[in-house]
A = this chain, B = another copy of it.
């Protein structure tokens, strides 16, 4: 059996566009392949959220399905396409399903049995779990289907009441096909291959794993589709972070050599995640260009460099906006950076506007604005200026806060938090440095001036301010907030590494920082979407009340 893995970049709600991607693959492979496999919810895009509550959306999706089904009359291959289907039984009105079309007919239908409802996933909100077996007979072969989470019961937490893999493993399969919209996060690629390798061994059958690729709001789907032989060895691997298609002949699969699986350094993986996520967010939202406030610091430098890598220098503009507390470096380094990136950099002093704001405050309220008020004033004047540029020239503003800052609310709401997308909001501060070094090494000539990498981080909103004096040294700060946010998803050795970093930090200091994480929830609720690279990011994957008074005893040192 010749099977095509069609790893496409679908867009949520773009029914004509997604249809065109599917039809192009049918056109390309339809006369030579036996089966063309598309990813989960290929027609609607993953994840349509409450678009699923609109009858007009389902109606339009079903019209596309009818067309695709009819077009299989013109090709010899069958197609496997992920789509929403109607649930004829009690419960939620729809299934997250797949259809197999061949010769103009629907020849098989399978509904996902495990509906992830944790972290970024909301499937129980819209779907009812399928009950019927995913077993299809094709060309004399016994084919078992899984849809994404169906494959993950015996490792994922929380666990489920049933295990679709157990059910398939008893069926003497000749082939397992898994269609997926599996997001990228640290370690996920290795986990995924190792996990499905065990499934192919358990089922004693080759396994075809097709994943979506592309950015969708916060989430980046990495592709990396693969075929495993019955020993669980990869014999075909599609690239990550780009569209790709390949046909694999399963009839001689045992004779095929094993294929090396892609590996990435931590920084290289983040680079791929962030550039794809950034590019797709900008393009899928209909923007052409972005603008970033260049502070002379590492976060804005890395954001600008990632934007240039994602969109090209013609699509990126920097604006440096010095005021009285800005070091000379904040302008000079920004100009150097933008020159190295080949992008324009506007240099606009906000000092007059800052002075005027203070005067107006004094005249209005009869007292000097507090230190905090003055700090936020500067950030908000800059944020306003970026939005003026955006409104006038049409560029999307990217905000530059990193995960460590966003954790503890070290950012000004309606100031430096302004933007349509926060590129580094899931990247801890030390990782921002690793990304900077990676960005410099991947090109011939370093793009981020070493002065930016080596200066002490500072918001430069008051005299002599540095982040680490206001907060904690970043290695320790990163360790605390990572434990607060992600500890339940970390391995024992990762937890131990962070606890070791905190050996010399007092409990009081740890609690002071940990409490800031809860206190800053109100700011994050109004933050732009954050590109997700870790196991748990701020945004849809982490839902907390604002008006709440839990005083946690953060037992960070204990299990």
Contact = CB atoms under 8 A, between A and B. Distances in A.
A393 B159 CA distance: 49
B364 A346 contact: yes
Contact of A17 (B284, B392, B418, B549): B549
A488 B90 CA distance: 19
Nearest to A126: B118
B389 A545 contact: no
A54 interface: yes
Contact of A522 (B285, B387, B389, B418): B285
Given A56-B554, A360-B352, A51 B544 contact: yes
A418 to B, nearest CB: 6
B90 A48 contact: no
A125 interface: yes
Contact of A56 (B217, B353, B555): B555
Contacts of A206: none
Given A117-B117, A361-B392, A369-B388, A285 B546 contact: yes
Tell me the number of copies of this protein: 2
A367 B422 CA distance: 29
Contact of A547 (B161, B216, B540): B216
A11 B285 contact: no
Interface in A10-56: 11-15, 17, 45, 47-51, 53-56
A122 interface: yes
Nearest to A319: B364
Interface in A508-559: 522, 525-529, 540, 542-550, 552-555
A550 B51 contact: yes
A153 to B, nearest CB: 10
A357 interface: yes
Interface string A157-171: 011110000000000
Given A13-B549, A392-B361, A543 B161 contact: no
Contacts of A369: 388, 391-392
A528 B527 CA distance: 10
A73 interface: no
A548 B91 contact: no
B545 A49 contact: yes
Given A125-B117, A392-B373, A545 B353 contact: no
Which of A12, A57, A388, A393 counts the most B-chain CB atoms under 10 A from its CB? Answer: A388
Contacts of A361: 388, 392
B13 A548 contact: yes
A43 B369 CA distance: 42
A92 interface: yes
A495 interface: no
Nearest to A525: B529
Closest 6 CB pairs of A and B: A13-B550, A284-B547, A13-B548, A14-B549, A124-B124, A373-B391
25 contacts: A13-B549, A14-B548, A45-B548, A48-B550, A49-B543, A50-B542, A55-B488, A91-B161, A92-B158, A93-B158, A122-B543, A215-B547, A284-B548, A353-B357, A353-B360, A365-B392, A367-B392, A369-B388, A376-B387, A376-B388, A380-B384, A384-B384, A414-B418, A420-B522, A529-B546
Interface of A: 11-15, 17, 45, 47-51, 53-57, 60, 90-93, 117-118, 122, 124-125, 158-161, 215-217, 280-281, 284-285, 346, 348, 352-353, 356-357, 360-361, 364-365, 367, 369-370, 372-373, 376-377, 380-381, 383-385, 387-389, 391-393, 413-414, 418, 420, 488, 522, 525-529, 540, 542-550, 552-555
Given A51-B548, A383-B414, 16 more contacts: A49-B545, A50-B542, A50-B544, A56-B552, A57-B550, A60-B550, A122-B543, A281-B547, A284-B547, A284-B548, A353-B353, A365-B393, A369-B392, A370-B391, A376-B391, A380-B387
